């Protein structure tokens, strides 16, 4: 009996009891999987581990010397990128590099630097629309576009749509549907998809956005599962935004580190975990969550993880 057949049969049994089945372990539809520079993104849990992306060159990053010109500590940045790559191999968790730039000049410099250090996919990000668009344009001109994820498409406003059209098609782009309810996120994604899918972007990744604690943060993580279940596209989430928004006094009293594992429990495909310097701690936590979910899949649905997965890296023999 396949996993899908088992889920459907159990669903029928539950309905006879008057219970509407909700199985967050398995999606009852065909899911899209991307291969971005060798990194698989998407699909059912148990197929591929969640991808972890550490961030470099963000505001107040100690590596950055001049955020507008893109001057930074190259040796320090290279060490962090190599460390993340080593952790990725050790734990069987694929990784990407998330770079943030204030200007087009800075973002382009960061992109080229990272591309020279690692073969991993690169997520380019900026609060400046002009910077994001220009860096994407340069990536296409220099043949890097197959490794680049544009982060992110925020709206269907005329200016953004026009600028994106000028550099279309974009290979990969994250659609950010930041809002406070699931229904509002669905509406926003529908609007953006109708404008950009196919015409501007070839492959989309859906991000529900994460509000701060107390404003629907867990709803946002659940939204990732619901969006993937509805559209079939891979999902992403900037889970560090939730952790960063917790007041310091609360962090002193309580341990909120479990937050970084939440995306795994809800099957999010791409987890932007924040500053790359935290990679040793994050990879250990996420690997533990991956093993827990994979073990459940194996025992409940007979779904075995793909060969490169923490389930095997941490000593599980799959029996």
Say how many C-beta atoms besides its own lie within 10 A of residue 244's C-beta. Answer: 12
Tens-digit pLDDT profile for residues 231-282: 999 999 999 988 988 999 999 999 999 999 999 989 999 999 999 999 999 9
Please report the pLDDT score of residue 3 as a whole number.
Answer: 64
Mode of pairing for the β-strands spanning 64-66 and 71-72? antiparallel
d(CA 69, CA 85): 27
pLDDT over threshold 60, residue 37: yes
CA-nearest of 147, 74, 61 to 100 is 61
- Computed over every residue of the chain, the mean pLDDT equals 90
CA-nearest of 302, 218, 282 to 54 is 282
pLDDT over threshold 90, residue 319: no
Question: What counts of helices (H) and strands (E) characterise the chain?
Answer: 12, 12
**Residue 120: strand, helix, or coil:** coil
What is the domain partition of the chain in residue ranges? 1-27, 31-313
Mode of pairing for the β-strands spanning 39-42 and 33-36? antiparallel
Domain 31-313 in CATH 3.20.20.20: yes
Tell me the pTM: 0.91
Tens-digit pLDDT profile for residues 46-77: 778 899 999 999 999 999 999 999 999 999 99
Please answer whether residues 173 and 136 qualify as being in contact, where contact means their C-beta atoms are separated by less than 8 angstroms: no
- Environment class of residue 309 by beta-carbon count within 10 Å: exposed (0-12), middle (13-18) or buried (19+)? buried
């Amino acid at each position: 009996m396949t996993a899908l057949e088992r889920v459907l049969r159990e669903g029928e049994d539950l309905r006879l009891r008057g219970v509407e089945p909700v199985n967050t372990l398995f999606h009852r539809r065909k899911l899209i999987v991307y291969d971005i520079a060798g990194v698989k993104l998407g699909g059912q849990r148990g197929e591929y581990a969640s991808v972890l992306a550490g961030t470099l060159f963000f505001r107040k990053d100690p590596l950055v010397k001049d955020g507008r010109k893109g001057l930074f500590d190259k040796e320090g940045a290279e060490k962090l990128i190599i460390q993340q790559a080593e952790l990725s191999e050790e734990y069987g968790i694929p990784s990407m590099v998330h770079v943030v730039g204030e200007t087009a000049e800075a973002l382009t410099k960061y992109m080229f630097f990272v591309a020279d250090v690692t073969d991993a996919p690169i997520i380019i990000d900026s609060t400046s629309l002009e910077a994001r668009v220009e860096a994407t344009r340069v990536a296409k001109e220099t043949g890097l576009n197959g490794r680049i994820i544009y982060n992110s498409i925020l709206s269907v406003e005329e200016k953004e749509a026009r600028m994106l059209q000028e550099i279309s098609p974009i290979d990969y782009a994250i659609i950010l549907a930041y809002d406070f309810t699931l229904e509002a996120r669905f509406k926003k994604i529908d609007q953006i998809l109708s404008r950009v899918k196919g015409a501007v972007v070839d492959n989309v990744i859906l991000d529900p956005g994460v509000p701060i604690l107390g404003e629907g943060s867990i709803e946002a993580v659940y939204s990732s599962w619901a969006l993937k279940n509805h559209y079939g596209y891979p999902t992403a989430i900037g889970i560090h935004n939730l952790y960063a928004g917790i007041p310091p006094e609360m962090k002193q009293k309580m341990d909120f580190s479990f937050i970084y594992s939440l995306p795994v429990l809800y099957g999010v495909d791409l987890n932007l975990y924040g500053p790359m310097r935290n990679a040793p701690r994050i990879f250990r936590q996420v690997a533990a969550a991956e093993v827990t979910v994979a073990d459940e899949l194996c025992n409940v649905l007979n779904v075995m993880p793909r060969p490169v997965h923490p389930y095997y890296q941490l000593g599980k023999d799959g029996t």
